[in-house]
Copies of this chain bind each other. A is one copy, B any other.
Amino acid sequence: MVKTKNKNYLYVDIAQNIEQQILDGVLKMGDKLPSVRVLKQEYGVSISTILEAYYRLEGKNLVESRPRSGYYVIFCANSVPDCPTKTNPGNRAVLGNVTGMIIDFYEMIGDENMINFSLGVPAPELMPIAKMTKTIHETVVKLPAGGTYYDNIQGSLNLRRQIAQRTILWGGAITEQDLIITAGCTSALSLSLMAVTKSGDTIAVESPVYYGILQLANTLGLRVLELPTDPATGMDLDALQRILREQRIAAIMVVSNFSNPLGSLMPNKHKQKLVRIIQEYEIPLIEDDICGEIYYGRQRPSTCKYYDDSGLVMWVGSFSKTIGGGYRVGWVAPGKFISNVMKLKLYLSSSTSTIPQEAIANFLAKGRYDHHLRRLRETLHTNSIKYIGAISNYFPEDTKVSKPKGSFLLWVELNPKIDISVLFERAQAQHISFTPGSIFTLQKQYSHCMRLCYGIVWSEKIDQGLKKLGELAHEMLFDM
């Protein structure tokens, strides 16, 4: 009998059990699943619950129903591409900028013809547009002065309360006083970094790392030291410790949950260890947790912030990936640097736009956010299986791909002979876009890698797009 907290979601638990067995290779390609009747008795539930579970697995392309025969596994765990190996960037702090291309990604947003795997955000179809529109209407008419007046510098109290309450999900003891609302995650990161560094300093980051961090660092005159990073478990903490024995690092930036682009999830022990290290060396840690709510597992993963009692961890988040980047609402709990961050926010940008803040606060208060997140996670998890399946089918055999446990980004490592900038150009000519790996570093590496966003709803067009990408990669190998 399956244990579950909520009997309405019994079918989810049943499906997850079977799914895990398929992904682990216990149930193999072609295996027949137990009949609906057998499972009904085994779990002591209704037939419709079992059917719901099977429909769910069918929706993920893991099983198929054969007429008058039953359900069969159609996913081969063994044929899934390997995970990329741990990265090994050069051990040298670099001052510089990534080159070109990035403003262009924004330009593509409106291009209907492009199959756009290069965006770092789920597609609009996955956002709660109708409910947010309704919430905005409800909010604006009730707002004092219709939201025309400057909000206080720290940000909407309603919103800070809602964000603080959600930290209970990972055991956070954050209060509304600990939080500063910012105009999106980028502002939270830039204000945090400005609060704890000065031009000429060196910061340590994962490698590969979100190019926005590299651009931000360069803008602030900061050198960047890229650390070896495991696609599954994140930043290599032994490497970090070796570095710290040798040189001063002004701040560490980490995406502990579902990093961008690697998708790594730091195990709790690593989070705890990282906090011990920063406490030993008294180094501020900027923890970007922007996708922490988009987990596929049963529980919201924890944060480094949870393990910190020193105030050195600056916990950053945003609604950009879960409600909409267009609202520009993010936050930071800057620990002991709160007054510095607050002053920087006041001096450089003043308060945050009132209406988006209050609308999101109401959306959360009414429970609409949790409902939406469940659906979002489910869709993205399904997408991840479908996308990885398609890559397995279409890409050259030596392709490696990450297996993220949350968010919506895949890191694909192709044969090292493939020049990703050439593949990028050829794909663009076919109206397919992705993010070349080479812009996630300041060094000469990842030039055979790409980041694929699977936040676009699965369709025949997406399948064909991935097939075409695979063909282009095959052709490039064949040409050599």
Chain A residues within 8 Å of B, Cβ to Cβ: 102-103, 106-107, 109, 121, 124, 127, 129-130, 132-133, 136-137, 140-141, 144-153, 183-184, 186-187, 190, 199, 212, 215-216, 218-219, 320, 323-328, 342-344, 346-356
Contacts and interface: CB of A to CB of B under 8 A. Distances in A.
Contacts of A121: 149-150
Most buried by B among A127, A137, A140, A347: A347
B148 A326 contact: yes
B342 A355 contact: no
B145 A127 contact: yes
Given A129-B146, A145-B129, A323-B148, A153 B103 contact: yes
A183 B356 CA distance: 13
Given A348-B219, A353-B356, A356-B353, A152 B106 contact: yes
Closest 3 CB pairs of A and B: A148-B324, A124-B145, A326-B354
Contact of A353 (B150, B151, B183, B342): B183
13 contacts: A103-B342, A106-B152, A124-B144, A127-B148, A145-B324, A147-B326, A148-B327, A184-B350, A184-B351, A219-B343, A326-B351, A353-B353, A353-B356
Contact of A109 (B150, B186, B320, B344): B150
Given A106-B152, A348-B219, A353 B324 contact: no
Contacts of A320: 150
Contact of A140 (B103, B109, B127, B133): B133
Most buried by B among A144, A145, A150, A356: A150
Contact of A356 (B141, B152, B212, B355): B355
Contacts of A328: 183, 350-354
Given A145-B129, A324-B147, A349 B187 contact: yes
A224 to B, nearest CB: 13
Contacts of A146: 127, 129-130, 132-133, 324
